[in-house]
Homo-oligomer: A and B are copies of this chain.
Amino acid sequence: MDKILTGNWKSMRPYASALDRLRNAGLRPTRQRLALAKLLFENGDRHITAEDLHSEARNAGVSVSLATVYNTLHQFTQTELLREVVVESGRAYFDTNTTQHSHFFFEKSGRLMDIPADAIEISQLPSAPDGAEISGIDVTVRIDA
């Protein structure tokens, strides 16, 4: 049980309920976190900004402050419920797909789209200097549209 409550549980079922996800992450299931988790995880794979999630929540009748949206997105990222994707300076996207995969980024619309992990292959990665840890590899294919 201990492992479950400390978060970082890698083998989350894709259809785990919002409540289960919060429990597994060791986060209290508050009204705000539950509502945001539902919006994020019950609508398929998503790439969303804090502002967009905030307005989506309000449109859905959920009263939550922007500060809490930011707090929650960061907590979800830390507990690996989400992944942060950086493709444009000055804007952060949060991705509900936490597996290793790449993205198409449509520069005009600001839309992000997954590229399945097996549709791109990276060969002969250079080893990190000093034997430092590689914490991730981000591949973005920019589309001029």
Q: A residues touching B (Cβ–Cβ < 8 Å)?
A: 84, 86-92, 104, 106-107, 113, 115-116, 119-126, 128-130, 132-145
Query: Dominant SS at the A interface?
Result: strand
In the complex, what distance in Å separates the CA atom of A84 from the CA atom of B132?
A: 25
Contact residues in B for A84 (Cβ distance below 8 Å): 89
Number of copies: 2
**B104 close to A122 (CB less than 8 A):** no
One of B106, B121, B124, B134 near A124 (C-beta < 8 A): B121
Contact across chains for A139 and B137 when beta carbons are under 8 A apart: yes
Cα distance, A140 to B89, chains bound together (Å)? 14
What residues of B have a CB within 8 angstroms of the CB of A141 in the complex?
125-126, 128, 134, 136-137
